[in-house]
Amino acid sequence: MSWIDIGRIDDVPLRGARLVKTRLGCIAIFRTAEAELFAASNACPHKGGPLSEGIVHGQSVTCPLHNWVFDLNTGEAQGADEGRITTYPVRLEAGRILLDARAVTERSAA
């Protein structure tokens, strides 16, 4: 697997997010209160709300438009809502955020 260095961990606030623009669209990089990192598509499948502007709580994010909650591990909507967001492999190495290069450059046929 090859990785793209997208910035420092300190560039993403605790319980916040930052955007990475790719050929496939915007990917949100989320940082939890415990400093865990997650990467997922920025658009809510419900009405396209910007998830990077949502509330990060635990390992979930709440859409700022209609309060849909998504698990950042699986991308699945929680509660009564149905749908999912795409998640991407991300890791932290020596304080740098690394995003899976292949995942953000190739669209899946599935």
Residues 41-73 have pLDDT tens digits of 999 999 999 999 999 999 999 999 999 999 999
Residues 62-106 have pLDDT tens digits of 999 999 999 999 999 999 889 999 999 999 999 999 999 987 776
All domains in the chain, ordered by first residue: 3-103 (2.102.10.10)
Specify the pLDDT at position 109. Answer: 46
Kindly tell me the burial class for residue 33, based on how many C-beta atoms sit within 10 Å of its own C-beta (0-12, 13-18, 19 or more). exposed
Check pLDDT > 50 for residue 22.
yes
- Which is it for strands 87-88 and 90-93: parallel, antiparallel or unpaired? unpaired
Q: Cα 33–37–38 angle (5° rounding)?
A: 115
The H or E element spanning position 90 is strand 90-93
Check pLDDT > 50 for residue 110.
no
